[in-house]
Chains A and B, each alone.
Chain A
């Protein structure tokens, strides 16, 4: 994703566009998956919690 497209997508995601949010999430999925591991295993509940946390907080990010 180019820097320009990233800015546009992020702006849309912050404004509440679900598709843009999905794109951003997809981009950061490796990071989310890495933090969703407990004892070396992927914890689906933890991943869901992290995703919900991001959905709730992303509007606080100022560009």
Chain B
């Protein structure tokens, strides 16, 4: 009888411990998800918020370019000028400065994958603008 009672008390103690751990983990997961949600500002947005058009011009001077691309098509000029700052920067570094995505990633302090994504999105936008005349 005594042994049975001890077993049952042990079950309760074990379950209480399990509950404490489970609740604690759930709390941690929730708070982590919350903080991730708050911090999850895309790099592109941050850059655009911080970078004014004057800064952008300064950046072009800093990297030693007197002027930007020599566009043959006017539509492309318009489309390029409407690109977000980060995409513009990535495209310029890739095609004008002939930098590799890896070098760009190091320069910008971001992942190489991010550079590929920016390039892909920028080219998609430019193609769309040239085909349909839709700039953005």
Interface residue ranges, A against B (CB under 8 Å): 3-4, 6-7, 10, 28, 31-32, 35-36, 38, 45-46, 49-50, 53-54, 57, 61, 63
Closest to A38 in B: B31
Q: For chains A and B in complex, what number of residue pairs have CB atoms within 8 angstroms?
A: 50
B22 at the interface (CB under 8 A from A): yes
Q: Do the beta carbons of A7 and B22 come within 8 Å of each other? A: no
Query: Of the 9-residue stretches B6-14, B62-70, B77-85, which lies at the interface with chain A?
Result: B6-14
Q: Do the beta carbons of A35 and B24 come within 8 Å of each other? A: yes
Contact residues of A: prevailing secondary structure:
helix
Tally of B interface residues using CB under 8 Å: 19
Q: A10-B11, A10-B15, A53-B25 are in contact. List 19 more A-B contacts (CB 8 A).
A: A3-B12, A4-B8, A6-B8, A6-B12, A28-B16, A28-B19, A31-B20, A35-B27, A46-B27, A46-B31, A49-B26, A50-B23, A50-B27, A53-B22, A53-B26, A54-B22, A54-B26, A61-B15, A61-B18
